[in-house]
């Protein structure tokens, strides 16, 4: 895991005491998701800036595939994972606790 992923993972795993299980490095078809809350079909990706056209296309194809399986994919920037951790965890918490109708 990257440093931002480790930083976010440290916070997300604290939720286990509240009965919320977030898994890391979850295989989904041919891809590996950074984090997943399987009960709500939420996939959390932590991304750095990419200026590589091939990487952008790969991420797009990957997200489309994962969403076609019924998952919701959210992307968190490396900077937000490191420097706005509270806001990021609250955002994730709200998605888990306020599922779409």
Structure confidence by residue, pLDDT tens digits, 19-68: 999 999 999 999 999 999 999 999 999 988 766 778 888 889 999 999 99
Q: What percent of the chain shows pLDDT beyond 70?
A: 95
Closest by CA to 77, choosing from 13, 4, 1, 3, is 4
Query: How high is the pLDDT of residue 35?
Result: 97
- Contact status, residue 61 vs residue 91, Cβ threshold 8 Å: no
What is the extent of the structural domain holding 11?
3-97
Token pair 């890391």: residue: 24
For the packed helices 3-12 and 85-97, what is the interaxial angle rounded to 10 degrees?
50
User: How many domains are there within the chain?
Assistant: 1
Query: How high is the pLDDT of residue 53?
Result: 79
What is the model's pTM?
0.90
How does 59-80 read in b/e, with b if 16+ C-beta sit within 10 Å?
Answer: beebbeebeeeebebeebebeb
């Amino acid at each position: 895991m990257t440093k931002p992923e480790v930083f976010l993972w440290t916070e997300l795993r604290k939720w286990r005491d509240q009965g919320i299980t977030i898994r890391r490095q979850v295989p989904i078809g041919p891809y590996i998701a950074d984090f997943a809350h399987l009960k709500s079909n939420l996939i959390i990706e932590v991304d750095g800036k990419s200026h590589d056209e091939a990487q952008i296309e790969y991420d797009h194809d990957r997200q489309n595939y994962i969403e076609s399986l019924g998952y919701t994919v959210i992307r968190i920037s490396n900077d937000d994972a490191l420097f706005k951790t509270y806001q990021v965890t609250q955002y994730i918490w709200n998605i888990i606790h306020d599922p779409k109708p």
